[in-house]
Amino acid sequence: VKEQILYHIQALIFLAKVLNSSHFIDVTCTFFCNFATCLINYTNIFSVETKYIFVTGGVVSSLGKGIISSSLACLLKARGYRATIQKFDPYINIDPGTLNPYEHGECYVTVDGHEADLDLGHYERFTNVPTTRANNVTTGRIYQSVIEKERRGDYLGKTVQIIPHITDEIKRNVMALGKTGNFDFVITEIGGVVGDIESLPFLEAVRQLRWELEDDCVCVHLTYVPYIQAAKELKTKPTQHSVKQLQQLGIQPDVLVLRTEHDIPSTMKKKIAQFCNVSPDAVVQSADAPSIYKVPVLMHRQHLDEIVMRKAGIEPSGEPDMSAWNEFLARMDSATDTVTIGLVGKYVELQDAYKSIDESLFQAATYCGKKVSIRYIHSEKITPGNVASLLEGIDGAVIAPGFGQRGIEGKFVALEWCRTHDLPTFGICLGMQCMVIEFARNVLGLKDANSTEMAPNTPHNVIDLMEEQKSIHNMGGTMRLGAYGCTLRQGSRVASAYGSLDISERHRHRFEFNSDYRTRFEEAGMQCVGENPDTGLVEVVEIPQLRWYIGTQYHPEYSSTVLSPSPLFLDFMKSAIAYKDEKIK
């Protein structure tokens, strides 16, 4: 590459001489010398062997391994390295696609159509890098792969065992992501807590890789330091026991991250380091932060990225370029006015059921210079008699996605109120389908209109199953999953929001708008302004006569990140803010 650059520099200098322009010679030399220097530095950075970082957790679950992993990846990317994160989930489900949100929170969808753990949403929001199937592996997938190989005879008649066959398959998934993705750092989060029986094969695989990779492997252990209110003391014993459990499995952590609600004194950090065989400078704390997006900055202040790099044999130089990230934080901290968004769904009592939507609304409000207050409205509790009081005072409404009959009638009632009161309204997936059904019933006069998901024998199936899916009964293979293209209508509100007529967004659904009714809808005022360019399936509906009334069959929340917020959420938030300003006036 360097030889090619030098060749082109010489060729351009020769051309400049022929043109007899000394100024052109100077500009050309300066530009290409700078460019060559940058290229050489770039090549030197990325000539590093792939480093593998494993993040484990101890004491209790839900400490924030995903946020620490994401923050570390964010900092490494800001230093110019290519970093990715993968999650190993110890449950036996093939993926979380068939899990009830009460079991596992939101199901996140990757660009290649894999249903994944919600932590992958954090990975993307922090790194601005799309994830794929390779970024989330479950015990079920590991065992499925091993059993398929055994059935094919790949093991040549040998007895198939946890060690080496299961652990080898786990290691293969770790190494494959680094090699095929050509990453400098692969951060692997091990789900669950050290001591869980389900996690043992993954931890054994980590132990083996720790020795096989030598200096190219770093183990980060996130643990909890509780504060006993009655004694007014922080207690280190749970952390010591957690590390002891890890050591008993043959893994010595290189770095300890201490999750805490109170600052941990330096003397206590030294005590923990001494008892856990970790160098004192490799013990950092992760105290409660007002926002998860502040965690990368807090971790950098304690030099977590530098500690990990040194443990991996890389001497850090300079500072990570966090300028864009810090600008987002500055907007977040300076926001004073609040915009209130009503989120209508049947899982609103669950913290993580609509995680990507919550974060997309937060990001959009931040970029609009506002704080967002999300009012969670349970769709099962909405009736014609109380809908006005439940929705009173909100500046916009999001009708949430989901599956099944429960709470669906409440969404219809909410949508009729939003539509007739010209409230900015955003319907996502099932929310969009509910928009179509409500419009069919109350505007087109098709009182029995419904989705065949809810009413298989409805006479007006304005939402129906895709024809190619009608013969499929395996729940894991019935949906349209992943990123698909969408062509938007020129002049539509949604096209204006995106600033483009050709977009790509992620899907997770089986049922579609029935195009047999398309003409009747458009004549009555609901326009089908987005469609799949290959199949003609309707992807977006809107009512142009209203302030902001848009439904998308796809999930724009999956692609919204801190540095690249969803254009559609941004436009919706601007409309909600304008509506609030009108009410104040």
DSSP letters of 533-558? TTT--EEEEE-TTSSSEEEESSBGGG
Q: Are 474 and 95 in contact (CB under 8 A)?
A: no
* Residues 78, 80, 82, 88, CA torsion sign: negative
Q: Is 429 a catalytic residue?
A: yes
DSSP letters of 560-572? --SSS--HHHHHH
Q: Who contacts 393 (Cβ-Cβ below 8 Å, separation ≥6)?
A: 340
C-alpha 61/C-alpha 103 separation (Å) is: 14
Catalytic choice (106, 124, 189, 557): 557
Catalytic choice (165, 300, 509, 555): 555
Catalytic choice (74, 429, 486, 528): 429
Round the CA-based radius of gyration of the chain to a whole number and report it: 27
Angle, helices 65-78/304-311, rounded to nearest 10 degrees? 80
Q: Are 155 and 521 in contact (CB under 8 A)?
A: no
Residue 377: alpha-carbon gap to chain centroid: 24
Q: Are 84 and 32 in contact (CB under 8 A)?
A: no
DSSP letters of 472-514? ---GGGSSEEEEEEEEEPTT-HHHHHHT-SEEEEEEEESEEE-
Q: Is 74 a catalytic residue?
A: no
Helix, strand counts (H, E) of the chain: 20, 23
Which strands sit side by side in the sheet containing 480-488, from one edge to the other? 371-378, 338-345, 396-399, 425-428, 549-552, 538-542, 527-531, 480-488, 502-509
C-alpha 261/C-alpha 476 separation (Å) is: 41
Q: Is 434 a catalytic residue?
A: no
C-alpha 81/C-alpha 117 separation (Å) is: 25
Active site residues: 429, 555, 557
